Amino acid sequence: MVALNQAPCALMASLATPLLLATNSARQSCIVRKRRLPLGDTASGGKSAQFTLASGQNVTHMDAGAYQSASVGDFVWNDANRDGLQSTGEAGISGATATLFTSGNVQVGAPQTTGVNGAYAFSALTPGTYYVQFTLPAGYTLTPKLIGTDTCRDSDADPADSGKTSSFTLTAGQSLSTVDAGGYQGATVGDFVGWIATP
């Protein structure tokens, strides 16, 4: 608790009760000692630290800052014709994983596993710089990255860098939906070679 002075009342200020401060201040009279208070804490649900309000005190510095979160996602698909682009009729890959990292290589949340539609998404992100690492199910190989100029259709996963994308920066409120990974299944070629001659 942070005591401003010998006060007649104490209250917990929160984002939900801004009018409570004004009400208590208006109906009391006393001295004011200026002091900066610790403000809202996201870990405590937006509540400030508890403080004591003196009679007549007018507190005008109880502020709350906020930012819009960001999101990233899109598609892991079967690049059946191996052209590195999302072509008509190419379906999603289920069972692929997308893992989000900060630019400092710190994993963010749990990996996302794609369903039959191949979609994945990370939401409620703090604006900043990230990259995604894709892992395809057994039997799939990553298709070449960054083919052409259409970021909605190309693959961003680098086959030469363990399926990682390049870093990208998410701004407040941004929803980035062009971070994709294409994969294809290798064909099997082979047959019986050799025989045993019988006399």
Min CB(79)–Ca ion separation in Å: 4
Q: Does 158 bind Ca ion (CB under 5 A)?
A: no
Binding residues for Ca ion restricted to 164-183, rule: CB under 5 A = 178, 180
| The residue count for the chain | 199
Site for Ca ion in 85-124 (CB under 5 A): 85, 87
Smallest separation, CB 151 to Ca ion (Å): 5
Helix (H, G, I), strand (E, B) or coil at 138: coil
Contact between 82 and 138 (Cβ < 8 Å)? no
For tokens 């690049």, what's the residue? Answer: 79
Which is nearest to 86 in space by CA: 113, 115, 118? Answer: 118
3-class DSSP assignment, residue 94: coil
Stated as kind and residue range, the H or E segment containing 22 is: helix 18-26
Nearest distance from residue 170's CB to Ca ion, in Å?
A: 15
Which of 9-17, 51-59, 129-137, 155-163 is the region at the interface with Ca ion (rule: CB under 5 A)? 155-163
Residues that bind Ca ion (CB under 5 A): 79, 81, 83, 85, 87, 151, 154, 156, 178, 180
